[in-house]
Structure 1
């Protein structure tokens, strides 16, 4: 009898701990971009779609496709968890959320972002507005010191008039431009391209293809 009771208790514990955990994340916007990283990807294009909640930055879902790569992951920064999904047909639209399958928790190390504490660096900004092409180019140059001779990094931010942009996602780079350097951007302008240069050569090229507002509750069951 005792053996049977222990066996039943063990089976009950296994069932309880293997039950699916229902999770829900709300997304109100997605962004599609193509990234070329010349540092470790040798410039092979990587297309990605990122789903976010503009009112809650503690999580996001990202789907990436590149050469020999197909990756779909949900990052929960508050819980410090990453859930990986399998996906076959990727359209880079809202429908991709419905096609995510087989969620599983994966090991992931969250890096702590450290600010640049080298106060000797000096930043200079150049601003050019092309009224014919409706483009604004912001050139950010970072020098080693106030002598303004040694350039250690350059960024180009290209903004363009986008009538169909439903949502202007202001990332940290753009926020820094506005607050630190008083860059006056027009209301209808959106960030369409970012170029990062190291030693005068392009190290990162990001082209933003689409911004769109959505209203989607993403619910899935995960086994823990």
Structure 2
């Protein structure tokens, strides 16, 4: 449970709390508080890239956008721009995810596959067969990433509008609310329409493969019993 909620705590709860502590408790300026509260999520993304056995394209993209937007907004000294930079992360990631769908390499599959297969060898083998043989399965895989990309783009638009129309102090927590709502919305829509059906298809494929193996083993046993008297 803790592992599941850790990204939400590090990327949302801690930056939100640290902003108000730094601005209200220590008297830092709005720009400085926003800047320092953005450091931890960037470091967490960097650590995720460094400790991984390979480079995760999505994590690397988020890291680059985080660093670039933080540098630009800090140099500008514009608090509203620093708030809007969060939408830059959402928009860049959303656009990249959508493009990856049309390129045939959906970015969200990296997180979808372990969830659907539960990390088992049989599940992974079933996934590979379904990807190669099942058009509905491939459509669900692409649709999963497309939903996530679209939701992230919508969140981007909402944050940009809020950054330049809502008071900064209010937009800090409101932006967090928008992020959480967007994540939950994407999870519910993409999970119900894509991940759940795909998981059922994988389970059915695993069962079918197990039944086939069992049937082949059952057919081989009588042959061995018939051959035994001949050998004697």
Same fold flag (TM > 0.5): no
Q: Greater relative contact order: 1 or 2 (C-alpha under 8 angstroms, separation 6 or more)?
A: 1
| More strand as a share of residues | 1
Richer in helix (by share)? 2
User: Normalising to structure 2: TM-score of the pair?
Assistant: 0.20
- TM-score under structure 1 length normalisation: 0.20
